[in-house]
Structure formats: C-alpha cells, structure tokens
Chain A
Amino acid sequence: MDKSVLELRNLCKSFGALTVTNDLSFTVEPGEIHALIGPNGAGKTTLIQQIYGAVQPDSGQVFLNGREITGLGVPERVQAGIGRSFQISNVLMDFTVLENAIVAEQARLGQSFRFLRPAFSDKSLKAGASKILSRVGLEDRAMQPASDLAHGERRMLELALALATAPKVLLLDEPMAGAGLEESQRMTEIIDQLRGQVAILLIEHDMDAVFRLADRITVLVEGAIIATGTADDISNSSAVQAAYLGSA
C-alpha cells in the first residue's frame, strides 16, 4: 500500500482546561486535495500549527511519508517537505516581489550561507524566482515592493512562496481569506492545477472552493473529527448538518 504523504496519529493538545485537539488521527494521500472544514473555534489552525511544528502536541505523532517528524522544529519540517501558506499574509514587506522569491529560491537550493556573489542580481536566482512568480501570475508585479501589493496579490505571493520550497504536502490556511470574487476564482484555478503534483491540506470557509477542489473533506468540530469522506458523503451526512446547523 502506498504510504500516506501526511499521517496524524492520536494527536492531543490542550491549553489549560480547554481541549483543542482531541485524539485526532487522519491522513493526506499523495496527490489529493484534502479539505479541512469546521465551525470557528474547531481547532483547525491549531492543528495546522502542530503539523507545521510551531506548536508541539501534548501527545500523538506526525508522520511525513512514513517518517516521524513530531520532534522536529519548523525549518527542519519545511526542509523535509512541509509547505505552508499563512492565514494572514506573511511575506517580506521590505523587499520587492521578485526579491521575496529570490530569498525563497536560494533557500530551496540550500545556498543561503554564501558570502561572495550578490544575490539579487544573480541571473540563475532571478530565473528561478521568475518561475516561482509565474506559477501564480505575479511576474509583471515583480519589481513592486511587497508592501505596495493589493491584498489579493499578496495572497498570491503567499501561495507562491509556499510552493517555492517544493513541498511534498502543502498546508493552505484559508488562502482565500479576504480575497475578492475574481481573486478567489483565480486562486481556486491555481490550486486546482496543483492537484496531483503536491498533496494539499486545505482549510477554507469558502464552500464553493471547497466543494470544487476537494477530493476528500474532513469535518472538525471542537477538536475532533466527526466525518471524513467525499464531497457527496459530507453534504449528505446528518452528523455534519447537525454540527453546522446546531452551532449556527
């Protein structure tokens, strides 16, 4: 049997008396887009933090392609193949769009500890960076300072930088947060094109995007999974309806 790209086993996390992750186990399979949905406060972001390495679970394990990464810090997990885009855009505001991509590119190539040649004028770095930007259609904004970008463009840059590390599994934390209709559609198309190339764990509230993109959907309520399945399974599930309608 093919190994899952990402596997969570019995993950538990409490903050004081509040249990945020309740004995959670699930997988993300190679090439699939797996959406994670649930009402606010369900613990989705904390879960992402535990996969990403920013938060340590109280118990349980995280596996990447069969290899346990529970004890690793964020940079090691990123190098192992975890990519992440942040819910609130987290780009290098003091740099231009192209420079953002160059820093990502040189990081991917493991060249960051070099002291001689100028980085921003390096032809091969610029070429690699342009490729990163063209994946999300930001090439013509390359020379703009990141702080000048419109919100939607910044979300695109966010996605581009997440892809730049050549991840095996991509954690997308509400990529469409605050994006307008047109931007959401563009983002949806781009994510759709990634299907098969990289496994994606998608947190989103935008149900149109979720139902269009997701191969599988997992519903999280109060730190525990109440349902996993295809889009049809989920929309027909009474448990899910109860959870959403109940908390409305």
Chain B
Amino acid sequence: MSGIRNLIGLVYEGVKDNRLLWLLIIGFALFPIITHFADLPFWNDVAMRIMLLGMAAMGLNLVLGYGGMVSFGHAAFIGIGAYCAGISQFYGITNGWVHLGFSIITCGFAGLVIGYLALRTSGIYFIMITLAFAQMLFFLFVSLEAFGGDDGMSIDRAEFGFIDLYDPLRLYFLIWIALVVVGMGLMFIVRSRFGVTLRAIKSNASRVEAMGLSPLRFKIVGYVISAVVCGIAGTLFASWQEYVSPDIMHWTRSGELMIIIILGGLGTLAGPLLGAIVFLLLEECLPLLLGAAAPAYAENWMILFGPLLIMVVMFGRGGLIGLLSQLQVRRNARSDHRGP
C-alpha cells in the first residue's frame, strides 16, 4: 500500500516540477472538445500527428538534449516501428499489442547494435555514422519489394482488443495515452540516478569515468531507450496513417526531429512537444502566408523555412522554452523592482 502511495507521491512531485509538459498533455486531452464544438474534426488529425511527432522527438531528446549525443539516425527507428506494424499486418497479425511488442524488441535490438557501433566514436564521426546507418535501413526497406518497396503499402489499423481504432476519437485517445506513458516514463528517467548520470556524461565524461563509471554503457542504454520510444511512435503512426513507406525514415525526417527539439528547447521535457506544435503549425501556416503574399510562389514556402531555421539556430537560445523562461525572469525582476 505504501509502495503505491510512494509512487503517487513521486508522480505528483514530477508533475509539479514539469508543469508545462503536463499542461500541454492535458491540453491535448481537452482539445477534441474544442474541435467538436467548432466542428473542425480535421484538427484532431493534426493534433494526433503532433502528439506522435512530439513523442518521437521526446525520445530523441533523451540522448540529444540530455545525453549530448547528436544522433542523426533516429527516423530509422520510427520507420522500423512503422514497418513492424506494416509487416505484421501483411502476415495477418492484426493485434496492436503484438505490433507494439514486436516494435519494442526490434527497435531495442537495432538501437543496441547501432548504438554500440556508433557510440565508441564521438563528435562528427558519431553524427555521420548514425546518418549512414539510417540511410542503410532506408535502402533496406526500399529494396523489400514484398512490402511495397519504394511505394510502400497500405495497411489496416491495428486492433487493440475492444478498442475500435476506426473510431477517430478512440484512436486519438490511444495515442494520447501512449503520450502520457512516454512522458511519464521519460520524466522518471531524466530525474533518476540513471538520468542524472547521463546528463553528467554530457557535461563531462572524463569526470564520470573518474567516479568509476563507464560512460559507454550509459550512453548505449540511453540510446536503446530513445530508439524504443521512437519505435512506439512509428508503430502508432503506421496505424493512424494506414500506410507505411520508406519515406517515414528518410534522413531528412531525422533532421525534422532535431528542428522540433531545438525549436522547443533542448534538454527540457516539454520542449519537444512544444516544438512539435510549432513545427506542424508552421507547416500548415507558412504555405497559407506565402500564398496570400505571393500566390505564384505558394508551393515554394520551404524557401522561407530554411532561413527561418538558420535564424533560430543562430539567435534562438534555448528555443521557445528558453524564451519563456527569459520572459519569466524579466517579469520576476520587474515585480521585485516594484518593492514591498
């Protein structure tokens, strides 16, 4: 009994320290109510994409923001997760829980192998190697003609027992629950002894060595966890989209994940989710903006995105969360100034 009370206490503490993350997550739970009354069910779809993208970005953030490992290959794990669902469906296995289990095991294994090979290097080597492995997996799936190859294949939504995923609201909340589980899990991990050690390795690996710990072991474990999280996002994504193709693991997707993380705020729990919201909103709004301003070039809205990204990188310290906390600091300073 006290074990459960302890757990609830830990959850409460964690939520208190990470208010923005849980505010956003609760926001997502309430969102369908708004779209229901505004009669804009399309936006539920957008929200589901945001949740899935945010989930994957949170997975990558564990190693990128907290662990300091610039892995350019995480889209591969999303892809593996998606194909776990796709290939299972192809062979008539429709149970979503099986898909998830398959995905967790496969991504865990892939993360272990790639992590072991890549994490013995660092810096530029590490980035290039993760990119190369992701590309390798991309080509692997492109060449698997049986599963659609380059064109990909359509699949049915998975069956999660009594939950009928063809009811869009149920799909929405399944994804939402996954987001809650992932968010909770990462929240615990980041604050735990393991998470603290991982962050210490990012700060100064040689000091952690001097404490008698092997940095490589921790990095690999972190890498595997992040791979599994991305895999889960990929599996659910395949069900949502009812389609899998190698495009989901194109290396530019890994770049997208990084963009999301830096937009929201590196090394924070809420950052990736916030970044996903902003990123997908930009994706919807930039074409509209450009279409209004220069209709001839509406299709080329990407040309705004490149320089925007460069601006964020060069001048946007700490992403949106950094911005928010700076505003908070300024507000506190002002209220201090006003005196008692």
Contact = CB atoms under 8 A, between A and B. Distances in A.
Do A and B touch each other in the complex, judged by CB within 8 A?
A: yes
Interface of A: 73-75, 78-79, 84, 86, 90-95, 99, 102-104, 106-108, 111-121, 161-162, 164-165
B188 A107 contact: no
Interface in B267-310: none
Given A95-B203, A114-B192, A74 B209 contact: yes
Interface residues of B, number: 28
List of 6 A-B pairs having minimum Cβ-Cβ separation, nearest first: A78-B212, A107-B211, A118-B191, A94-B203, A119-B196, A114-B193
Given A95-B203, A118-B192, 16 more contacts: A75-B213, A92-B207, A93-B203, A94-B199, A99-B196, A103-B197, A106-B197, A107-B213, A108-B211, A113-B193, A115-B193, A116-B10, A118-B13, A119-B191, A119-B195, A165-B211
Interface in B167-213: 188-189, 191-197, 199-200, 202-204, 206-213
B14 interface: yes
B208 to A, nearest CB: 7
Contacts of B211: 78, 103-104, 107-108, 161, 164-165
5 contacts: A75-B209, A91-B207, A108-B212, A114-B192, A161-B207
B214 interface: yes
**What DSSP secondary structure best describes chain A's contact surface?**
loop
Contacts of B203: 92-95
B189 A115 contact: yes
Nearest to A111: B193
Contacts of B213: 75, 107, 112
B218 interface: yes
A120 B210 contact: no
A90 B147 CA distance: 52
B14 A84 contact: no
A148 to B, nearest CB: 15
A90 B196 contact: no
A118 B203 CA distance: 19
B197 A107 contact: yes
B212 A107 contact: yes
Contact of B194 (A84, A95, A104, A115): A115
Given A107-B212, A115-B192, A121 B204 contact: no
A86 B207 CA distance: 9
